[in-house]
Structure 1
């Protein structure tokens, strides 16, 4: 009997010993109060429990600032005192008792924070408690910052102190596990001695005079909103404070899921929608939002399906075309947006989105809820697609331009990107691979920290502008590939938050989508379990949504090697053949082709070739990282790490050219930066570290990259010789901590002739891939040649059209022996000269960095002999022009005694420049330059050619 009484007493003690996340004394802080210290106490058993049971208990510090009248949002802290992740003694919060720490501000708040602007007033103290490293942080339950209200000097205030409030920006009530019949305490306080009263649902439950605190108690009489009010009267003025707590049934009512609905928002008419939330083993869910003024209501308690897996609710009475923000509140404590939200509102980052980029952005419901909210809209405006006859390019011949919108445009948005399509079109690419543009944490990252997979990032514009961009790309024959990170998600993901283990700061063991810990050694964020049926369903919906709603052409799947449940602890074993991973990716490929037949699946895999061979033969494309090999080739140090053979699908034993090779990507250092800083500078007259030399070597890189069969990719601005390091910082230093920082946007490079030459050369090489005579070469498996050493060459052979590429990667002149596939006349594709092949070994001499692309068919309509009959002694600049008169294009037969910047200008009889036709850096020797006739009237003109070796002026008649 004694043991039973002790047990009952213990239960009563625990029930009565309520705790509050954040408490402070005095209860009504004033900004100019010098009379006493402000003591702030945190209880880590509450909130997100970021410091629960943390040791050493002396290693706890505050991060503290203020929200003032100058702040623009709850996240706009002013006058922060200490640097995150440091252990400043002045920021230390002494240990008080189990899971409790305390921080004291002595004297005036204005003095403590150093506020001297008399017109700026303190509204709230913003505070977090953290460990010294900043890796563990005590926050509100929703992960938000904590705040303490600061009251105007001399003002008369009252506040409901119990039931406890969360110390969020608007001080909402803590979640209470109340039911009908629950007895609860109420406590109010006043800033000065007053006549005080407490009310519950309009009934007075306590009263006293001349007091600063008042307590009472009441009982929940029925389900619904419990309204609790504290009233104080100082003899002249009455003030009030109110909190509302919703009391609903302990669990959601059970009802079968309506037929035909799926996870997320289902629009059933212009005024109704059915919400479906997948939340296995949860007990109760309610919906809060604009439609019920963010107040829980019995009418918005969701139904739970008999199998306990789903919650659902029919929303009625919606206004067609109106955007409604909303959240789910699950088991009375968890507030989340719908994981399938196609638009979200972010209280921390939306404020930085330009109204020009996203006009009419719906404001966040500040003061009504916390955390990210979703948006639904019945009868939403539809986009009318124009490119309905578009068909995707053959995946084997893709040339993809990898792009990060943030670093491609000074004002990054979809409309501006649409305006650049002529740049892409002229470059000849047929695909744009865009780094993640679904919503991720923050606005300015690379996007590999995702949280919402169905919502396009608002930072780049409205959904219709994204659709217009894709539509315009399709009209120009350009496919759109979405880079997406489905290996992991980050902490703002509602699926992470719905099942969370705060004690271990990781997903809970019963999370339907995520592993508790990473299954591989390259963990980022929280690891998806792709053997879970819930994850597979979610992933299939992601693929279906983007390919159907936005008509994207496929995905580049980030970190695809992570899609495994086989635990590995080192990169080597992680890369080994994994049949379970193969099975996962075969299933996803089948799913993608079911929801979007023919859509591209590109894997960033880097696993054993035996595994990649299976999946490549199944239909997947693969990122083929040849950065190290091309880097060493570009630097001018030929070694085993410069062997380009692995860029050929035939070298890997694959059946199809499904290898998307690249020399640069967002993950790699820039080749130009490497050459300018580490290139071979052993030769006095040929230094790879020279800017113009390095730019010419980028042309050489392109010749070997783009001519090889199979899909190709290159990283933005590589075609202009972009030379800022991947680790470039805003202050001009180089540091790996700046890797994902914004990089300078240098569109002015496009006006520099030596840089534009790369664009022009690459464009011409890329366009050969689509020429009807040579298109088959780029899916051919008849590839041969030594792609090692200094003098390199390779050949592609078909039944009719053949290509031979030669190049000198050395820093001195080299000779090499090549046997062309067939005897006869061959054509230098880039220089418009001819070469007679004997069918036997022939020696080709190349200057350092020089290269040739020979084709056996006259694709440029080059004459077999120069019509200009140019005769040169080799010591000076000489030139001829033909045909003359010219109706369309004309050819300059040019000899340069030395490599030089060369200009071609059309001049009238008065010596005035009519048009600049070309400026480019040209190699030494004889070459044929094809120029387009400018759109000017017929007449007699003069072609003025100027270079370091002299000048020539040639009469030219345009008909």
Structure 2
């Protein structure tokens, strides 16, 4: 009996110990603390999780050996809404992995993390896509987790003079990084920037790039909103892409998904029932979607915390990545008006939805004036007009009518005009293809109309008709959008499974890039025509006029554009038989056929032209250079490095694009400092600041060297490290360093093919190692700067040193002589 009592007592003692261990300290975090990681210094952070009604939370990470102890138990705020913990003794620049253990059972990552590690998908990301990825702590946790570091690499932005293109001149290129080129990385887009510039695409709209479930995706299944998906490359590459776009005058727009999240989102997982349904106490999500077409879990945007969260998301990408705008996916779903499965009810004018959207819009514009905000609303026109007149740009889907017209059937293009929708401003982004729509070229070649020998399905005819179709898209005033590869007449069906079969299940599947289409004369001629039209839109004022009209309901279509400087008339026969078309020139006189270069006189305004099927003309009353649309002559899109001495010399490059890479050799002298067991390393912008990946080579004279490959003209920032981990790096003196934006300095050099060697430096100094005694008279050794500096105090040490240079010399005697005869009081 005594033994049983002892066991029971011991059990209660253990229970009491665990209860105390799970009772967090009640204390409010410091004022201004935000959810997520708050960097206090290079060695200290506060991490905060908002999780109302959760009794206790452990913060487990590398900084506490993933332990579950009193030291990892997070404090709880007095209102019970947040758990937080300060972590000290961190090494600046080191990645720390961490996650939250909620009430002893639920493992989640940090919803505000900027880099997550995924146990299921990271292993399938090629190392070349994301070099230096931290390793997932297998065996410790089994869900996506978070990382942070306190000393993040500083990206050298050079885009501060960039001016966004005017909204009404935008020709947006919608792009899916996954399919754009074979590498599925941001570098593929960087390599094609000359092509974008040639084509006249002055904005690139990336389909969602924040972390999504899996690796191969359109991105509309997001989970972590502050982390770029690793499959496309590190954050530094995304920044480089934006920076390089801005250098060419190209804006970058991100597709974002505020309507919903998917099941691995920590904010979803915090409050779910046993069936995976969001529970009623979830502050962020509805238990059931408020509208018919909501995939995933539906955000409640009437909730103040959701507003706060999304305002942080919007601000983050604009500030951190210098993007220029957003395309808001499924914006019509941002409402708490429950339409159930009734699409017509969902489409009704919804003032609450308008109010939510304008709250976000106002916040964005107050912090980042001029930001593009595009809505994929696809709702009734009365609501879209209210949004457009308030500054939003609206997706204007015209796929059916453009497709019907291109195939030779009846299609009404009049609704492509912002004026015909009653808008006050040109805020309608008209498009005929998007990622959600079938390819016009595919429909043309399979379902096109014909009459006699004229057949729109014939390949060369279909490409010619796409020229005409694009002309009627791009010349209508207002912003326009082109879907990836449309400019080449891409004719792989959206439902193509890649194995000869077709299915709606393959809509989201990977599609082959077809850059070899640039070698097909008919497709190249189409691309050149679209390029000429895009540049006209941006360079000739008449194409942004408010004074225009469309007669585009029949098969013979006409557009009139008027301005004080220039007038234009576009005619086209979309039928499969000849038509008589009266252009309706505004006055008699000389006119110019832009694409042929021919001039002609208009003497009778009622004159009709006999127009063959598929024939079209753009007439201007001002002469302009005739554009090159010859598909037999390639455009200069094969750019590369043309210097044979460079590491990346491209013998087939048609012109040099400034990407030549050269080896620069750096030297290090450790002086009296003993090298670490791992040996000296270097980390820098050229290798994503990974401290362990670039060891230095010991030379015969006892110094160390390393070769760095980087692009000509770029600034390479770096630090020497006595070892292979952060915490062992040198302290670079300000006199020879570049400010890293974090209170310290990095070494740097500019890549110059004529200077391929940086002189030797001593660890933590600006010059060679040596005894401070080598400083000359009147100077002293300054440890902080690593330089000999003038000693202003030496003049007081020796009274005869009148000029204060630290030595008595002829100069002091001359001062005495110059004062000879002076009366002294």
Work out whether 1:330 is the aligned partner of 2:102.
Answer: yes
Work out whether 1:563 is the aligned partner of 2:334.
Answer: yes
Deviates more, 1:612-621 or 1:797-806: 797-806
Give secondary structure in 2 for the equivalent of 1:758. Answer: helix
**Within 5 Å, which residues of 2 pair with 1:915-930?**
none
TM-score with structure 2 setting the length: 0.74
Matched-pair contact (CA < 8 Å) for 1:625–1:662: yes
1:779 aligned to which of 544, 551, 566: 544
Q: Which residue of 2 aligns with 1:524?
A: 295
Residue 247 of structure 1, CA deviation? 6.3
Give secondary structure in 2 for the equivalent of 1:298. Answer: coil
Provide closer, same or farther for how the CA distance between residues 917 and 221 of structure 1 changes in structure 2, counting only shifts above 3 A: closer
Q: For 1:378 and 1:902, how far apart are their aligned partners in 2? A: 53
Q: Which residue of 2 aligns with 1:710?
A: 478
Work out whether 1:834 is the aligned partner of 2:614.
Answer: no
Q: Which residue of 2 aligns with 1:401?
A: 173
**Within 5 Å, which residues of 2 pair with 1:801-816?**
801-816=566-581
Q: Which residue of 1 aligns with 2:493?
A: 725
Q: For 1:182 and 1:418, how far apart are their aligned partners in 2? A: 69
Work out whether 1:430 is the aligned partner of 2:212.
Answer: no
2:449 aligned to which of 680, 685, 694: 680
Provide closer, same or farther for how the CA distance between residues 838 and 741 of structure 1 changes in structure 2, counting only shifts above 3 A: same
Deviates more, 1:821-830 or 1:480-489: 821-830
Residue 218 of structure 1, CA deviation? 5.0
Q: Which residue of 2 aligns with 1:737?
A: 505
Matched-pair contact (CA < 8 Å) for 2:521–2:632: no
Q: For 2:476 and 2:78, how far apart are their aligned partners in 1? A: 58
Higher helix content, 1 or 2: 2
Q: For 1:311 and 1:489, how far apart are their aligned partners in 2? A: 23
Give secondary structure in 2 for the equivalent of 1:326. Answer: strand
**Within 5 Å, which residues of 2 pair with 1:284-323?**
284-323=56-95
Larger relative contact order (CA 8 Å, sep ≥ 6): 2
TM-score with structure 1 setting the length: 0.64
Q: Which residue of 1 aligns with 2:416?
A: 647
1:750 aligned to which of 512, 515, 518: 518
Give secondary structure in 1 for the equivalent of 2:622. Answer: coil
Work out whether 1:850 is the aligned partner of 2:615.
Answer: yes
Q: Which residue of 2 aligns with 1:386?
A: 158
Matched-pair contact (CA < 8 Å) for 2:278–2:285: yes
Higher strand content, 1 or 2: 1
Matched-pair contact (CA < 8 Å) for 1:294–1:369: no
Gaps of 5+ in 1: 1-180, 185-216, 225-245, 863-888, 893-900, 905-914, 919-933, 936-959
Provide closer, same or farther for how the CA distance between residues 220 and 854 of structure 1 changes in structure 2, counting only shifts above 3 A: farther
Superposed CA offset, 1:124-166 (max 9, x none): xxxxxxxxxxxxxxxxxxxxxxxxxxxxxxxxxxxxxxxxxxx
Q: For 2:92 and 2:300, how far apart are their aligned partners in 1? A: 38
Provide closer, same or farther for how the CA distance between residues 834 and 917 of structure 1 changes in structure 2, counting only shifts above 3 A: farther
Q: For 1:275 and 1:615, how far apart are their aligned partners in 2? A: 38
Provide closer, same or farther for how the CA distance between residues 248 and 335 of structure 1 changes in structure 2, counting only shifts above 3 A: farther
Q: For 2:545 and 2:97, how far apart are their aligned partners in 1? A: 54
1:539 aligned to which of 297, 307, 310: 310
Residue 502 of structure 1, CA deviation? 1.9
Work out whether 1:508 is the aligned partner of 2:273.
Answer: no
Q: For 2:297 and 2:631, how far apart are their aligned partners in 1? A: 56
Work out whether 1:701 is the aligned partner of 2:469.
Answer: yes
Matched-pair contact (CA < 8 Å) for 2:521–2:631: no
Residue 785 of structure 1, CA deviation? 2.8
**Within 5 Å, which residues of 2 pair with 1:359-374?**
359-374=131-146
Superposed CA offset, 1:878-922 (max 9, x none): xxxxxxxxxxx9x99xxxxxxxx9857xxxxxxxxxx9999xxxx
Give secondary structure in 2 for the equivalent of 1:818. Answer: coil
Work out whether 1:664 is the aligned partner of 2:433.
Answer: yes
Q: Which residue of 2 aligns with 1:29?
A: none
Residue 833 of structure 1, CA deviation? 1.1
Q: Which residue of 1 aligns with 2:676?
A: none
Give secondary structure in 1 for the equivalent of 2:577. Answer: coil
RMSD: 2.2
**Within 5 Å, which residues of 2 pair with 1:249-288?**
249-288=21-60
Provide closer, same or farther for how the CA distance between residues 717 and 248 of structure 1 changes in structure 2, counting only shifts above 3 A: farther
Q: For 1:778 and 1:510, how far apart are their aligned partners in 2? A: 53
Larger radius of gyration: 1
Residue 182 of structure 1, CA deviation? 11
Superposed CA offset, 1:28-48 (max 9, x none): xxxxxxxxxxxxxxxxxxxxx
Give secondary structure in 1 for the equivalent of 2:83. Answer: strand
Residue 838 of structure 1, CA deviation? 3.2
Q: For 2:244 and 2:632, how far apart are their aligned partners in 1? A: 35
Matched-pair contact (CA < 8 Å) for 1:182–1:220: no
Provide closer, same or farther for how the CA distance between residues 511 and 778 of structure 1 changes in structure 2, counting only shifts above 3 A: farther
Superposed CA offset, 1:717-761 (max 9, x none): 000110000011021211101100001111111111110111100
Superposed CA offset, 1:166-187 (max 9, x none): xxxxxxxxxxxxxxx9969xxx
Matched-pair contact (CA < 8 Å) for 1:450–1:485: yes
Give secondary structure in 2 for the equivalent of 1:267. Answer: strand
Q: For 1:812 and 1:347, how far apart are their aligned partners in 2? A: 61
**Within 5 Å, which residues of 2 pair with 1:7-86?**
none
Gaps of 5+ in 2: 1-5, 638-653, 656-825
User: How many aligned residue pairs are there?
Assistant: 633
Provide closer, same or farther for how the CA distance between residues 748 and 251 of structure 1 changes in structure 2, counting only shifts above 3 A: same
1:822 aligned to which of 587, 591, 600: 587
Q: For 2:408 and 2:383, how far apart are their aligned partners in 1? A: 33
Residue 564 of structure 1, CA deviation? 0.6
Matched-pair contact (CA < 8 Å) for 1:821–1:839: no
Residue 400 of structure 1, CA deviation? 0.3
Q: For 1:285 and 1:413, how far apart are their aligned partners in 2? A: 37
Give secondary structure in 1 for the equivalent of 2:188. Answer: helix
Q: For 2:453 and 2:378, how far apart are their aligned partners in 1? A: 40
Deviates more, 1:652-661 or 1:692-701: 692-701
